[in-house]
Amino acid sequence: MELKRSKWQLIVGSIILIFGVILFEVFDLAFLGMGIIFSGLMLIFIGIHWARKPKTELPDERYMRINEKAGFNAFWTTLGISAVLVYIDAYFPLSLKFREFVTLVWFVGMFSFMIYRFYYDKRGIK
């Protein structure tokens, strides 16, 4: 296991984990503390996962370019959907709550990123 590639993830994940435990135990912020603890654990597990991968499985330039292009297009799709929802709610009141609005925009962004990644993976990058 080569920790040089994921050393920062393990260190930052441990710091986030300790910060979450302090929020959970000392300040009695259960929901926020558990969320931050979960984030720290996920970062530590990601670091361990990347440390165990052989160098032949690390992402190459094509994979990085596909993610970059898909992320760019997913961002603008998400921004467009949020703008459309704001205008629809302004002119035709749907009485959307903030949580429903954010959840809808988040799902659109997540699925558009996956669709764009699949599209650019099959089509290729120019």
DSSP H or E run through 24: helix 7-25
52 in the same domain as 63: no
Q: Is it the case that residue 1 has pLDDT exceeding 60?
A: no
Residue 72: pLDDT band with limits 50, 70, 90: very high
> Mind listing the pLDDT tens digit for each residue in 12-63?
888 999 999 998 888 888 888 888 999 989 988 888 877 777 766 666 788 8
65 in the same domain as 49: no
pLDDT given for residue 113 in this prediction: 92
d(CA 93, CA 124): 42
The answer to whether residue 12 is domain-embedded is yes
Across 6-11, average pLDDT: 79
- Structural domains in the chain (count): 2
Q: How far is CA 70 from the centre of its chain?
A: 13
d(CA 32, CA 22): 11
104 in the same domain as 63: yes
> Mind listing the pLDDT tens digit for each residue in 22-34?
988 888 888 888 8
The answer to whether residue 2 is domain-embedded is no
d(CA 13, CA 50): 14
Which residues span the domain enclosing 26?
7-56
64 in the same domain as 39: no
Of 2-11, 69-78, 95-104, 108-117, the poorest mean pLDDT is in 2-11
Q: Is it the case that residue 3 has pLDDT exceeding 70?
A: no
